[in-house]
Structures are given as C-alpha cells and as structure tokens.
C-alpha cells in the first residue's frame, strides 16, 4: 500500500484547519451559549418589568379602591344625604390623580350622583353593566373596563360596593381617565425600543408606550388573542401591530384581570447573538486566511531551504565546491545545513589529500603510460612493417592470379608443371588441375626459334632467358607468346625450377604483321599500279602492231614468220595474264561477304580437281567436320582454296595424298590443306611477293591468298618439311557482320596504293 505523498504546504494547511476550525466552532458555541444567557436575562428582565408594571397597576387600583372605600364608608350614605355626599365626592376627586368623575348608583342601577353632572340635574344611565353586576354579586370591588365617554374621552372605572348591614346599598364608582394608566407605565421608564402596553380585562388597549391615541380601545395585542383566558404569563414570537418582528411577553393581573404586554423587537434580542456569531466567524476566517498566508510563506521558505540543502547534498555527493547557502528560517534545517557544510569541509580536506595522492598516482601512471606507449609504438611499427610485408606478399600472390599473363613454374629436370595461374588457364584453355603435373612442352606443343636444349643450357648458365615461342592452346589454335624464364636454384646452385612468365602477344604480333602487311601492300599496290600502267600501254602498242602486221601480211607470210608472230603473240598473252594478276592483286575486290558453309564451298572447288588429281596420281583425303557458317567472299575464298590445291598438286609431281581437313574450335573454323610433296625449303617465305618455288610461278598466288584471308579477319600459316610435305592452315573466326570483328574492312579500302595512283594519274599522269 502506498501512502499518498503530500507537500509541506498541504500539511501546513491541514494543521491550520485542524487547529482553527475547532477553536472557531468552540468560540461560536461559547458565543451562542452566552448569547442565550444574555437573552434569557433580557427575557427575565422583560418579565420582571411586566411584573413590576402589573404590581404598579394593582397598587393603583388598590389605592383607588381604598379611596372609594373611604367614601363608601361615609355616614352621609347612611343617611342617604346624597347632596352632601356629592360635595364630599368632589373634594375626594380633587385629591385623586386621574379621577374624572365619581358615580353612585343604587343596586337597581339608578344613578344617584355623577360629578360630571351638577347635582340635581338628570344623570346619564349606567355604563359597564357587567362590572356593576359583578360588584352586586361578589360584594367586592370590580374594575370597570375601558369605555369611551360621550366627549370621546377614554375612561375606565373602579366600582366598590357600599355595604350596609351586609347588603349592597349603593355601588360607588370612580371614573378614571385612561391616560392616567399611561402615566403609570411611563414611570417604569422602559427602554426606548421596548413597546409596552396595558390592556383591560376585555384585552382592549388602555395605554401604550407610543401612539396610544391611535390604538386605544382596540384589541391590538395579537398574542393575547390566542392566549388562554386564565393564563397569567406568556410569550410569543411574531410580528407586532407595527409589523415589526418581535418577541412579546405578557402578564395578567389576577386581581384586575388586566394585562401588561411588553413587545421587544426580535432584532434587539437576536442582534447580539448574530453579531457575536458573525464576529466569531469573521475572526475564524481571518485566522484561516492569515494562517493560510503564513503557511504558504512558511512552506515557500522551507522549500527554498530544502532546495538549498538538496543542492548542498548533491554537491557533496559529487564532491563539488559548495557555495554560500542562504540561512534557513527553520532551526532544524539550519542544523542540517550546518551538518552538511561540516561534512563538505571534512570531504574537502579529504579530497585535497586524495587529490594529492591522485596527482602522484597520475604522474606515476603517466610515466608508465609513456613508457608503454613508446614500447607500443615500437611494436606497432614492427607490426606495421610485418603487415605491410604480408600485405605485399598477399598482393603479390593476388597479382599472380590477377595478371592475364601466364605464370608457370616447372621443374628444371623433367619440365613437369608445378604451378599454373589463372592467366595461364585463360591463355591456354587448360585448367590448373589439367595442367599441373604435365610436361610443359608436350602440353603446349611449344616451338622455339632456337633448339630447346640450347635454350636450357643458356638458362642453366645465366639463370635467364627471353624469347618468343609459338604454342598451341587446348582448342588447337596457335598463339605467339613472349616468354621470360627465370631459374630458382637449390643451395648447391643447381637449377631446381624454371619460372616462366608468358604474355600472349598473338594479337600484338598479328597487329604488327597486319600493319607491316598493310604498309607492304600499299607499296606493292602502288608499284603494281604503275607497273600495270607502264607495261599495259606499250604492250598494247606491241600487241596491236603484231596483229596489224599479221592482218596486213595475211596469206603473204612464210610459215616461219607466222610461227614467230604466233610465239610473240603468246608471250604477249603471258605478260597480259601476269598483268591481269597484278591488277587483281593491286586492286583486290574483296567485300562480297555472305554467310557461307565453308565445307560446301570446299566441295564445290574440289569437283574439277578430282580429274586433275586422278591423272596426276594424287589421292584426295577429305576429313570434313561441320563448320559454323561464317561470312565469306565466296569467289575469293574459292580462289584461295583453288590456289592452295593447285600448289599442293604441283608440289606432288610424282603423286601423293592431298588432305583437306576442317574442324571447329570454339568460334574458329580451321581448314588445313596438306600435301605429301617436296616441301618448302627453310628460310623461304612463300607469302612474300614474287617469291616462288615453282619454275613457272609468278610469286603472286600466295600473297593473294594471304591478302584474301586477311580481309576475312583470318590467319594463314604453313608448316613444311622438306620431302615430307606442306600443310597450310587457315583459321577463320566466325563472324556474322563484316565489321563485327575488330577490323573487318574490305581489303580494297585498306590498299591505299591504288587510290594514290589513281589520284596521281587523274591529275598529273605523264602517260
């Protein structure tokens, strides 16, 4: 269970309420209590006043009765000397205050005397018969109620019997002015706010402290209306005749039956109570207000002090310096503040020594750290060096795999491959798994420009070798590589391994060759163009001359002359044929490329050769593997095949075997035309212009073959062994667009010689 957390201010308010409220209530109760007492005392005062008034009234009546009794006992009445009694009565009236008249009646109600009427004159009849009869019956005095006189004056009377021999002889009455009663009341000197009134036995108002004339004779006392007839005393709360809320107290005289009514305004009685209560409540509220303000201010000051102490405590907790704390108005808080201050001082002292110790420790630590960091730096430097070395080794190893060059490590003795990098796999097509363990020269059919054993000797001696090598890839294609060898030796300086770095320079070589060839072709083109032109015209002159002569001397020529002319003509035809070949070579019209099945083309070319070969005792071997169709200028390619076949046939005058073989390696179509003929002597490049090994060769055929194959983006090479035969190998890359490959442009555009010539001729030709 959680206790509700209440702020100090609320606590103070609760305290205030708990103290002020009961005090206020008690005060109110006390006030009420005292007010009640006071009220009672006022009430008893009123009652006392009433009693006093009644007593005074009774005494007045008694004194009047006594005066009448004295008159009643007058001897004059014994003798019925009414006349003299009149005079006596006149004298008596003068002594009595308020007496207006004295009236005498006999029991038969006959008026005998009335001081208001001169003696002997007729008298007014009896007024107040009730009291008269009462006197006759009781033979005791009675009070005549208030009556209005003939002149409008209010009077009352007192009747006494005139007893003679125990019998009522006469009834003597004193008629007294009502105002006399008012005088009695005035004598009592009532408080001004009190309203006193005197009523007769019939409850008619006789006298009043104020405005008697207005109310006299009226039955005004409201309270008396409800009061029982024999009630001696009573009180009532209600509005009086003036309409003022008031308390009324009455008292009835048992002797006269008259009433005294005292009317006190309720306000008079209640005001002190109300005022007291109001005062008490006001004081209570003031006390609450003051107390509340005090509580707020107090709680604020205490809170302020508490906040200060809290800051102090926090600072202490953090061991921070403590500022001056405002003095709290609460002694207990001061005590706490002082205690905290003391604690802080103690801590500061402790801290100072601790700081010193820490400082020393820090210095020692710094020294140690410096030593450690120095050592660490040294170590890190060494580590970095080591890492750099490792990194360099790693990157070197990575480089071995990254490079496009082939890196091969093989043992010196048996040439078996020990290491084969990615570059080697890419260049040769053999994977590392396939290559490792194999003899390098056997796997790659390596061909060097010098004998291998010479190279190995050199390597063993110098530790290095550099040169070009022709090798065969897995797909059978040949590539040219630039090879660099380096030897690793054992501690005895004996060659252990050969490290071979081979760069594929086939493309480079090809490009070089092509550039050379283009240059050469340009030169040749120019030369052949000039040659054709310079020869063509004189040859035409000679030719036409011969024909003209023949025409002019037709039938007149001797057979010998005719033969001579015929031979000359033949020679001219030979030169003409040569000239035609030259023209073709100088202006090779290659460019009519069509997607062609090379095998079908070869078969077409072979048809007319079959007879020729049979006659020459040559067997044709056909080893055709289907080839991927590729773009080929059919006429020119036929020319190539025919040319090579003719060369082969001519190389086998004694007969032999002509082998035509096709096979596909990846996207390369390969055609090999082999003969078993005499072979091409070493050191002769038959692709060179005007180079021929045949007696009647022009030296243009193979250059043209090379030209045409080059225009097909292909290569042509040959291998030949004297007496064993020659193999020409044509490799054609599969193409679907003439310019789909690197530089597949029609050869005619690549032969600037002819264009140069034409340009020259069209402007400045001397011909």
- CB closer to other proteins, 126 vs 572: 572
C-alpha to C-alpha distances, 134 to 69, 131, 194, 345, nearest whole angstrom: 17, 5, 35, 112
- CB closer to other proteins, 276 vs 639: 639
Pairing relationship of beta strands 668-674 and 464-472 according to DSSP bridges: unpaired
Q: From edge to edge, which strands make up the β-sheet containing 259-265?
A: 205-208, 195-199, 259-265, 245-252, 233-239
172 and 93 Cβ atoms separated by less than 8 Å: no
Is 107 a residue that touches other proteins (CB under 8 A)? no
- CB closer to other proteins, 401 vs 589: 589
The 10 Å Cβ neighbour count of residue 397 is 11
Provide the 8-state DSSP code for 439.
Answer: B
Out of 19, 462, 564, 765, which residue is the one contacting other proteins (CB under 8 A)?
765
Select the span of 97-105, 293-301, 400-408, 531-539 touching other proteins (CB under 8 A): 531-539
> What does residue 240 show for φ and ψ, rounded to 5 degrees?
-90, -170
- CB closer to other proteins, 446 vs 543: 543
Q: State the Cα–Cα distance between residues 257 and 201, nearest whole angstrom.
A: 5
Q: State the Cα–Cα distance between residues 77 and 170, nearest whole angstrom.
A: 8
- CB closer to other proteins, 540 vs 561: 540
Task: Output the smallest distance, CB 636 to other proteins, in A.
Answer: 13
Task: Output the smallest distance, CB 482 to other proteins, in A.
Answer: 41
- CB closer to other proteins, 553 vs 722: 553
703 and 585 Cβ atoms separated by less than 8 Å: yes
- CB closer to other proteins, 583 vs 638: 583
369 and 460 Cβ atoms separated by less than 8 Å: no
- CB closer to other proteins, 401 vs 537: 537
Q: State the Cα–Cα distance between residues 330 and 401, nearest whole angstrom.
A: 88
Out of 295, 498, 532, 668, which residue is the one contacting other proteins (CB under 8 A)?
532
* Cα torsion 208, 209, 213, 214: sign: negative
CA angle 353, 359, 365 (to 5 degrees): 140
- CB closer to other proteins, 325 vs 757: 757
**Cross-strand partners of 719:** 727
Spatial neighbors of 669 by CB under 8 A, at least 6 apart, are 598, 627, 628, 630, 662, 731, 732, 733, 734
Judged by CB under 8 A, the chain residues 586 through 615 that form the site for other proteins are 587, 589
Which DSSP string corresponds to 674-711? E--SS-PPTT--TTSTT--SSTT--S-HHHHHHHHHHH
Is 548 a residue that touches other proteins (CB under 8 A)? yes
Is 266 a residue that touches other proteins (CB under 8 A)? no
Is 580 a residue that touches other proteins (CB under 8 A)? yes
- CB closer to other proteins, 40 vs 547: 547
- CB closer to other proteins, 316 vs 542: 542
Out of 536, 699, 738, 752, which residue is the one contacting other proteins (CB under 8 A)?
536
Q: State the Cα–Cα distance between residues 133 and 477, nearest whole angstrom.
A: 181
Is 537 a residue that touches other proteins (CB under 8 A)? yes
Task: Output the smallest distance, CB 537 to other proteins, in A.
Answer: 5
Task: Output the smallest distance, CB 473 to other proteins, in A.
Answer: 39
Provide the 8-state DSSP code for 242.
Answer: T
Is 570 a residue that touches other proteins (CB under 8 A)? no
Select the span of 34-42, 152-160, 538-546, 619-627 touching other proteins (CB under 8 A): 538-546
Out of 542, 606, 620, 642, which residue is the one contacting other proteins (CB under 8 A)?
542
Out of 576, 597, 693, 741, which residue is the one contacting other proteins (CB under 8 A)?
576
Is 41 a residue that touches other proteins (CB under 8 A)? no
Out of 512, 547, 566, 743, which residue is the one contacting other proteins (CB under 8 A)?
547
Largest CA distance in the chain: 253
Judged by CB under 8 A, the chain residues 320 through 339 that form the site for other proteins are none
Quick one: which of 39, 51, 40 has its CA closest to 233? 51
- CB closer to other proteins, 165 vs 551: 551
How many residues bind to other proteins according to rule CB under 8 A?
Answer: 30
Task: Output the smallest distance, CB 472 to other proteins, in A.
Answer: 40
Select the span of 192-200, 343-351, 411-419, 548-556 touching other proteins (CB under 8 A): 548-556
**Cross-strand partners of 730:** 671, 716
- 3-state SS class at 243: coil
Assigned token pair, 742: 């690197």
Task: Output the smallest distance, CB 582 to other proteins, in A.
Answer: 9
Is 539 a residue that touches other proteins (CB under 8 A)? yes
Judged by CB under 8 A, the chain residues 722 through 761 that form the site for other proteins are 754, 757, 761
Out of 544, 561, 623, 742, which residue is the one contacting other proteins (CB under 8 A)?
544
- CB closer to other proteins, 313 vs 535: 535
- 3-state SS class at 617: coil
- CB closer to other proteins, 415 vs 579: 579
Spatial neighbors of 298 by CB under 8 A, at least 6 apart, are 12, 329
Out of 551, 607, 611, 695, which residue is the one contacting other proteins (CB under 8 A)?
551
Task: Output the smallest distance, CB 535 to other proteins, in A.
Answer: 8
Q: State the Cα–Cα distance between residues 223 and 202, nearest whole angstrom.
A: 14
Q: How far is CA 193 from the centre of its chain?
A: 84
**Cross-strand partners of 263:** 195, 248
Q: How far is CA 189 from the centre of its chain?
A: 94
Select the span of 211-219, 514-522, 582-590, 602-610 touching other proteins (CB under 8 A): 582-590
Is 538 a residue that touches other proteins (CB under 8 A)? yes
Out of 529, 618, 678, 732, which residue is the one contacting other proteins (CB under 8 A)?
529
Buried b (16+ CB within 10 A) or exposed e, 657-690: bbbbbbbbeeebbbbbbbbbbbbbeeeeebbebe
Tell me which residues touch other proteins (CB under 8 A): 529, 532-533, 535-545, 547-548, 551-552, 572, 576, 580, 583, 587, 589, 754, 757, 761-762, 765, 767
């Amino acid at each position: 269970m959680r206790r509700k957390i209440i702020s100090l201010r609320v606590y103070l308010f609760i305290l205030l309420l708990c103290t002020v409220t009961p005090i206020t209530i008690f005060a109110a109760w006390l006030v009420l209590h005292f007010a009640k007492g006071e009220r009672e005392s006022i009430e008893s005062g009123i009652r006392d006043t009433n009693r006093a008034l009644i007593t005074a009234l009774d005494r007045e009546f008694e004194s009047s009765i006594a005066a009448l009794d004295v008159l009643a006992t007058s001897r004059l009445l014994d003798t019925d000397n009414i006349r003299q009694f009149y005079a006596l009565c006149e004298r008596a009236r003068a002594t009595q205050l308020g007496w207006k008249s004295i009236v005498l009646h006999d029991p038969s109600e006959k008026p005998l005397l009335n001081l208001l009427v001169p003696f002997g004159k007729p008298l007014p009849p009896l007024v107040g018969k009730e009291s008269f009869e009462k006197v006759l019956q009781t033979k005791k005095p009675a009070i005549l109620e208030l009556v209005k006189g003939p002149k409008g004056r209010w009077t009352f009377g007192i009747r006494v019997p005139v007893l003679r021999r125990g019998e009522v002889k006469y009834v003597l009455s004193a008629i007294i002015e009502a105002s006399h009663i008012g005088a009695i009341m005035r004598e009592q000197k009532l408080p001004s706010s009190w309203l006193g009134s005197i009523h007769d036995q019939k409850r008619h108002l006789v006298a009043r402290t104020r405005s008697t004339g207005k109310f006299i004779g009226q039955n005004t006392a409201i309270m008396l209306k409800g009061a029982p007839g024999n009630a001696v005393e009573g009180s009532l709360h209600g509005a009086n005749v003036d309409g003022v809320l008031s308390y009324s107290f009455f008292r009835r005289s048992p002797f006269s039956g008259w009433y005294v009514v005292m009317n006190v305004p309720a306000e008079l009685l209640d005001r002190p109570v109300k005022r007291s209560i109001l005062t008490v409540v006001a004081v209570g509220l003031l006390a609450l207000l003051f107390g509340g303000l005090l509580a707020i201010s107090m709680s604020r000051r205490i809170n302020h002090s508490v906040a200060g102490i809290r800051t102090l405590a926090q600072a202490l907790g953090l061991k921070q310096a403590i500022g001056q704390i405002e003095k709290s108005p609460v002694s207990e808080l001061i005590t706490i503040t002082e205690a905290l201050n003391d604690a802080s001082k103690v801590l500061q002292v402790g801290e100072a020594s601790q700081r010193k110790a820490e400082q020393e420790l820090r210095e020692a630590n710094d020294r140690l750290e410096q030593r450690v960091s120095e050592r660490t730096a040294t170590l890190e430097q060494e580590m970095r060096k080591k890492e750099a070395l490792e990194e360099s080794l790693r990157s070197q190893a990575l480089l071995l795999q990254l490079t496009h060059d082939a890196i091969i490590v093989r043992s010196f003795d048996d040439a078996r491959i020990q290491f084969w990098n990615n570059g080697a796999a890419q260049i040769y097509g053999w994977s590392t798994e396939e290559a490792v363990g194999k003899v390098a020269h056997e796997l790659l059919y390596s061909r060097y420009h010098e004998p291998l054993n010479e190279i190995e000797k050199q390597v063993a001696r110098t530790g290095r070798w550099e040169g070009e090598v022709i090798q065969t890839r897995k797909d059978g294609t040949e590539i040219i590589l630039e090879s660099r060898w380096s030897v690793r030796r054992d501690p005895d300086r004996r060659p252990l391994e050969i490290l071979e770095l081979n760069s594929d320079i086939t493309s480079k070589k090809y490009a070089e060759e092509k550039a050379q060839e283009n240059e050469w072709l340009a030169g040749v083109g120019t030369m052949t163009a000039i040659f054709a032109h310079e020869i063509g015209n004189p040859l035409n002159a000679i030719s036409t001359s011969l024909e003209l002569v023949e025409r002019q001397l037709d039938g007149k020529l001797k057979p010998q002359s005719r033969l001579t002319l015929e031979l000359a003509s033949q020679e001219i035809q030979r030169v003409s044929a040569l000239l035609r070949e030259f023209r073709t070579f100088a202006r090779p019209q290659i460019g009519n490329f069509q997607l062609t099945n090379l095998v079908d083309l070869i078969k077409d070319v072979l048809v007319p050769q079959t007879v020729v070969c049979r006659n020459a005792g040559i067997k044709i071997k056909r080893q055709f593997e289907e080839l991927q169709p590729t773009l080929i200028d059919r006429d020119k390619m036929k020319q190539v095949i025919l040319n090579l076949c003719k060369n082969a046939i001519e190389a086998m005058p004694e007969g032999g075997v002509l082998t035509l073989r096709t096979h596909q390696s990846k996207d390369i179509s390969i055609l090999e035309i082999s003969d078993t003929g005499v072979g091409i002597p070493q050191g002769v490049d038959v692709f060179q212009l005007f180079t021929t090994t045949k007696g009647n060769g022009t030296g243009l055929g193979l250059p043209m073959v090379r030209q045409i194959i080059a225009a097909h983006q292909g290569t042509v090479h040959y291998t030949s062994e004297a007496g064993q035969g020659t193999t020409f190998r044509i490799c054609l890359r599969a193409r679907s667009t003439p310019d789909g490959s690197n530089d597949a442009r029609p050869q005619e555009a690549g032969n600037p010689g002819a264009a140069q010539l034409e340009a020259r001729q069209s402007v400045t030709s001397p011909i």
